[in-house]
């Protein structure tokens, strides 16, 4: 079994050590940093399998680090788990909207943290395609599964890996109503709460702008992509 690398960026030294020991006991190779700038440098150097990133840090916070990582083409598909002391929905939506795949509210219970990390690591990391081009076209929306791009009326939109996979799942079967559980499975099986799925969908809709109505809520079921 190949040892997987995890970088933990957390400014609380006690919590950082707890996280390091917890993950190390599970067999992961753990690297740590106690501030955003050093964490960013470490992540770019190692290109780890997953990053546990504290949201609130002095200087360069987790949001800034996450934005930098998502802008780096060499780290395409990097799995990012946000650690936040806040349960406020706006913080969760912000973190997911700029690129985090999931979040855990501190203090995180070890079993929950490990379960979520395992789920994210089970999700295939996006790699550059080498096979024949696959292009999904629905009206002005194009999903390029070779370049991992979403284009709307020709303009390239910036989507996180999770957002991309959720939109692709909906677009592959338009008009079909997906439950949140089904969408999570299609997106790679990440172990997240329902409100996390809703936050991702909210972010996707925002990025679709005037075409946000393409993704509609199906009461009692989940979501569907409409052919408008």
- In DSSP notation, 31-86 reads EEESSHHHHHHHHHHH--SEEEEES--SSS-HHHHHHHHHH-GGGTT-EEEEEES-
| pLDDT value of residue 38 | 96
| pLDDT value of residue 128 | 44
69-123 pLDDT, tens digit each: 988 878 877 899 988 876 666 666 677 777 788 888 887 788 888 988 988 887 6
Q: Please name each of the domains of the chain with its CATH number.
A: 5-122 (3.40.50.2300), 135-225 (1.10.10.10)
CA distance 74 to 206: 26
| pLDDT value of residue 144 | 85
* Portion of the chain with pLDDT greater than 90, in percent: 40
- Please state the separation of Cα 73 from the chain's center in Å: 15
Question: What is the pTM (predicted TM-score) of this model?
Answer: 0.62
| pLDDT value of residue 191 | 45
């Amino acid at each position: 079994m190949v040892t997987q690398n995890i970088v933990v960026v957390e400014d609380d030294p006690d919590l950082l050590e707890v996280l390091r020991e917890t993950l190390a006991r599970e067999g992961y190779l753990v690297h740590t940093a106690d501030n955003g700038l050093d964490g960013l440098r470490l992540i770019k150097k190692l290109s780890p399998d997953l990053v546990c990133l504290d949201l609130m840090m002095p200087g360069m916070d987790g949001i800034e680090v996450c934005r930098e990582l998502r802008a780096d083409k060499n780290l395409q598909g990097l799995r990012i788990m946000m650690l936040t002391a806040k349960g406020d929905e706006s913080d969760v939506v912000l973190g997911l909207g700029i690129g985090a795949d999931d979040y855990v509210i501190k203090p995180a219970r070890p079993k929950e943290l490990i379960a979520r990390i395992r789920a994210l690591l089970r999700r295939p990391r996006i790699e550059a395609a080498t096979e024949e081009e696959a292009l999904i076209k629905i009206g002005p929306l194009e999903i390029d599964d070779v370049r991992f791009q979403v284009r709307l009326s020709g303009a390239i939109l910036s989507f996180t890996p999770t957002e991309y996979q959720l939109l692709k799942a909906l677009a592959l079967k338009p008009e079909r109503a997906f439950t949140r559980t089904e969408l999570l499975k299609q997106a790679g099986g990440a172990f997240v709460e329902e409100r996390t799925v809703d936050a991702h969908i909210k972010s996707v809709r925002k990025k679709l702008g005037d075409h946000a109505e393409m993704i509609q809520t199906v009461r009692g079921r989940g979501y569907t992509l409409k052919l408008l």
